[in-house]
Amino acid sequence: MNSELKKERDISVFWFRRDLRLEDNTGLVEALRSGFPVLPVFIFDTNILEELPADDPRVTFIYRQLQKIHGKLAAAGSGLRVFRGDPVQVWKHMLSRYRIKEVYVNKDYEPYAMDRDRAVADLLEGHGIRFRPFKDQVIFEEGEVLKQDGSPYTVFTPYKRKWLETFRERPSLSVTGEAVTGFLPGSGSLPGLEAMGFQPSAIHVRPYDLSRIRDYPQVRDLPAEDATSHLSPHLRFGTISIRKVIAGLAPSDEVFLSELIWREFFMQILFHFPKVVNQNFQPKYNGIHWKNDPVDYRRWCEGRTGYPMVDAGMRQLNATGTMHNRVRMVTASFLCKHLLVDWRMGEAYFASRLLDYELSSNNGNWQWAAGTGCDAAPYFRIFNPAEQQKRFDPELEYVRKWIPEYGTPDYPDPMIDHKFARERTLSAYKKGIESYLPGG
């Protein structure tokens, strides 16, 4: 960044977070309307990064997106400023270098992000600087789809009904174009990935393909088809806006729209009930005695359970950072309800691997699979992984792709009998519920 521009003029700052695009970016559009030249910044947050390996594929993906944004801005005579550190300390540094009048962001609804934003907002306001957050990553945020009494929904179907009703009452979605003008002049250069302490990952995020949405209802449960849109990591990191996705849906795409509404349902659950981060949504399950056998857990992580659908899914996850949604349900159910391993351990493993990891959805879906969450599968619903394989991968295409030794002596026998596991789980859950009840 040109040194002569520092402290010489009033500016606004737009802080990129999980909105890595110049197109249809609400907070960015508002910043460019501020009347001040806009300095765009991104902070690699060490509070998060310290828990990740240097070659985490999500970090590589973020960096590649920042390169694209910087390249477009540089072509227009500006550029992106990238920092690495604790956000509050980075903002203190920026306050010493720039005459900042306003800071624009898009809201993030996760507990850590809200705490971070409060700390940054307090710092800025102490210097007379406005911190201006905007809704961007959702159609409806926490206070917009509520029951008549103002309380949040905890069951999906009525939430979806109200969501759709509210959506029909609003004007048509407005999608803004790409913004490359109105930024602070002086492009500078983007620091290299390695210079910031990262290493390129061999795992890549695939481009999204919205044309695949048309076939979603027919192929959504068939993992061998590899016919999904690959949209989820792009929504997670905001390389496409939710408004653009929904604006492009046809009336026949209601099944896909329902999945997007699930995303917002879990987001508002996390906002209203932050305890779910590490507690059961339904306290009656707090008394479950999880077995948590480390050998069982390791075999599940490595895809060596002897149940092909489970093992194929875990190997796909380990190799690519992705897993088909149907298989996610099967693998999660197997860990909790066959091996009696606490859902929090499975959630943590998925969090470390999934390219589309999002706290609200990961947590909500794991608690759904374990039966401990809001609107969850009942505890006595236990997937039979062998039957799931016969139904959704009858020709073993998916299984053979990820388990080359399948059908040979090198592939292990099932590590646990399904009937035995089912009866053991039913007993453990019943005892857990009884211990929670008064007199238990």
Q: Which residues are part of the catalytic machinery?
A: 259, 262, 290, 325, 343, 366
> Residue 41 phi/psi, 5° resolution?
-130, 155
Residue with tokens 């707090």: 286
DSSP structure string for 334-382: HHHHTS---HHHHHHHHHHH-TT--HHHHHHHHHHHHT-STTPPPTT--
Q: In angstroms, what CA-CA distances link 93 with 15, 82, 127, 249?
A: 14, 13, 13, 44
- Sequence-separated (6 or more) residues with CB below 8 Å from residue 346: 300, 331, 332, 335, 336, 366
* 70 alpha-carbon distance from chain centroid: 24
| CB of 292 closer than 8 Å to CB of 301 | no
Tell me the CA end-to-end span of the chain in Å, nearest whole number. Answer: 66
The H-or-E segment that residue 130 falls in is strand 130-134
| CB of 230 closer than 8 Å to CB of 208 | yes
Which residue, 86, 52, 83, 80, is CA-closest to 66?
80
- Residues 291 and 305: their CA atoms lie apart, in Å, by 16
